[in-house]
Structure 1
Amino acid sequence: MNDIRVSWNNLSREEKLQYTMPKNDVDEKVHVGDTDNDSNVQPFDTRCTPTRFCQMMSTFSDLQKDAVRDLGFGNLLMLNYGFLRRDLCAWLVNKFDITTLTIELHGKSFILNPSIFSHVMGISDRGDIVNID
C-alpha cells in the first residue's frame, strides 16, 4: 500500500488528471464569505463526491450493507445524492484548529472532538479495527 501512495505522489498533476472523474456533481459557483479574511483559504479537492459515494453504496449487497452497519457506519448508507460545496468544505477546514479541536464560526469557538463528530454524523467512534478482508 505504501508503494501505491509513493507512486501516486510522484505523478505530475497532468498524470493524476487521467485518473480523475468529471466533477459535474461538484458545485464551485457559490463562494462562501465571512467578515474574516478568507482570501488565504486553500483549494479543497476530493475524488469522492456525494453522488459518486451514493452510487457506489447502492451497488453493495445486503451482506456488505450489514458489514457497514456492524462497523458503526450505517448512517452512511442513508446519505442522499447532492452537491459538494468544495468552497464551503475548504472554508470549514480553514476554520478548524487542530491543536484545540475547535472550529471558529462567526467569532464563536465550538469544540469538535471525535466523540462530538461521531454523535453529529451518527457513525462509530469506538476505534474499531477494520479488517479489509
Structure 2
Amino acid sequence: MADSSTSSTSQSHSEKTQPFHFRATFKTQDIQLVANIRKLHQHTIKLSIKNLQRKQSYNTQEKMTVRNQPGRNQTKDLKCATHLLSDKFRNTSEEKKTIVRDLGFGGLMHIPPLRVHHQMLRELANNFKLGENRLETGYGSFKITPRKIGHALGINATGDLFSQKVDYKKLSEDDKVIFRRSQGKTLKSLTDEMMDIGVGNKEERLMFKRIFILYIQMAFLLPTTINKISHVHLAPIFEMDSITERNWGACFDLYRQGHNRLQGEKEERN
C-alpha cells in the first residue's frame, strides 16, 4: 500500500510540473503588414521632426530679418537717463570732484538729470545718418563732429586719439595686474568701486582716476550693448599722464567705425 501511495504521489507531482508547449502559425502577409506599419510610423516621426526643425529655422530667420531692419537696428538699445550720472556726481565728495575737474570732465557735472522719452530717442535715431554723422531735421540737417560734441559736453575734443587696443606684453607687471583686475567688470561694480574708494593718498587717487575713466566711458561716452568692460575702454587708463590732452570727442567716431565695419561684413557675406 505504501509503495502504491508513493507511486501515485510521484506521478501526480510529475503531471503538475510537466511543461506545456504551444505552437502558432503566422501568415507571411501578416508579418509583412506589421513591418509596413512600423516603417510608416517611423517615417511619420521623421517627417514631424523635420517639419519642427524647418519651422524653428523659419522663425529664427524671421526674427533676424525684423531685427536687422535699418529703422529697428538703430533704435534697439536706446537709453538716455542722465539722471544716473547726475546722481553720482551729486553724491561724490568734494575731493573726488576736484580730481574729476583736473581730468577735464568737470563739464559733465552740469549735465541736467534727464529722462528722455523713448519715442523721442527713436525719432532722433531714425533721422540720424550714422554713416555720415548727420542729423536730418525738419529745419534742415547738420553734421555731428567731435569738436561739436566737445563743446556741448565741455570735454577736450582735440589732440591724438587713444589706442584701440592694449598691448598686454608691453605693460609693466603692475599694469598687468590692473589689466586683469579690470577685465570683466560691469558698470555696477565700477560704480560701487568709484563711490567707495578713498582718495587719501597718491595710490588711491590714481586708482580712482582709472576707475572713473572706465566708468564715464561705460556710463556715458562709450556705452556698449554688452554690460562689461570692453578692450576699447581699457586703453586710456594706461595713458593717464596724457589723459587731459586726448580727444574724447572722437569717442563718437568709434560708433561710426563700428557701423561701417559691420556694414562691410554684411556686404561680404551677401
Q: Which residue of 90, 93, 103 corresponds with 1:58?
A: 90
1:115 counterpart residue number? 147
Mapped partners of 2:129, 2:149: distance in 1 = 15
Displacement of 1:114 in angstroms is 0.8
AA aligned opposite 2:152: V
Q: CA contact under 8 A between 2:82 and 2:115: conserved in structure 1?
A: yes
CA displacement, residues 93-117 of structure 1 (integer Å, 9 cap, x when unaligned): 2222222221111162201111111
Corresponding residue number in structure 2 for 1:76: 108
Decide whether aligned partners of structure 1 residues 90 and 72 sit closer, same or farther in structure 2, where only a CA change above 3 A counts: farther
Q: Which structure is higher in RCO with an 8 Å CA cutoff and minimum separation 6?
A: 1
**Alpha carbons 1:44, 1:86 under 8 Å: kept:** no
Mapped partners of 2:100, 2:119: distance in 1: 29
The amino acid across from 1:124 in the alignment is N
> What secondary structure, in the 3-state scheme, does the structure 2 residue paired with 1:99 have?
coil
Where does structure 2 lack aligned partners over 5 or more consecutive residues?
1-70, 163-208, 212-270
- Preserved contact between residue 44 and residue 90 of structure 1 (Cα < 8 Å): no
**Which residue identity is paired with 1:118?**
G
Q: Work out whether residues 44 and 87 of structure 1, in 8 Å CA contact, stay in contact via their aligned partners in 2.
A: no
Q: Where does residue 92 of structure 1 map in the other structure?
A: 124
The structure where helix makes up a greater share of residues is 2
Between structure 1 and structure 2, the one with the greater Rg is 2
Q: For the residues of structure 2 that align with 1:82 and 1:57, how far apart are their CA atoms? A: 14
CA contact (8 A) 2:104 2:155 kept: yes
Q: TM-score scaled by structure 1?
A: 0.55
Residues 147 and 157 of structure 2 are in contact (CA less than 8 Å); yes or no, is this contact kept in structure 1?
A: yes
Percent of residue pairs bearing the same amino acid type:
23
Question: Per-residue deviation at 1:121?
Answer: 2.6
Number of equivalent positions = 92
- Name the one with the larger strand percent: 1
What is the deviation of 1:44? 4.5
Aligned-pair Cα RMSD in Å: 2.6
SS in 2 for 1:104: strand
In structure 1, the partner of 2:157 is: 125
Residue of structure 2 equivalent to 1:18? none
Q: Following superposition, which runs of at least 4 residues in structure 1 exceed 4 angstroms of deviation?
A: none
1:43–1:87 contact (8 Å) kept in structure 2: no
SS at match of 1:132: helix
Unpaired runs of 5+ residues, structure 1, are 1-39
**Contact 2:78/2:121 (CA < 8 Å) preserved in 1?**
no
| Alignment-derived partner of residue 10 in structure 1 | none
1:51 shift after superposition:
2.2
1:1-29 CA-to-partner distances (Å, cap 9, x unmatched) read: xxxxxxxxxxxxxxxxxxxxxxxxxxxxx
SS of structure 1 residue aligned to 2:155: coil
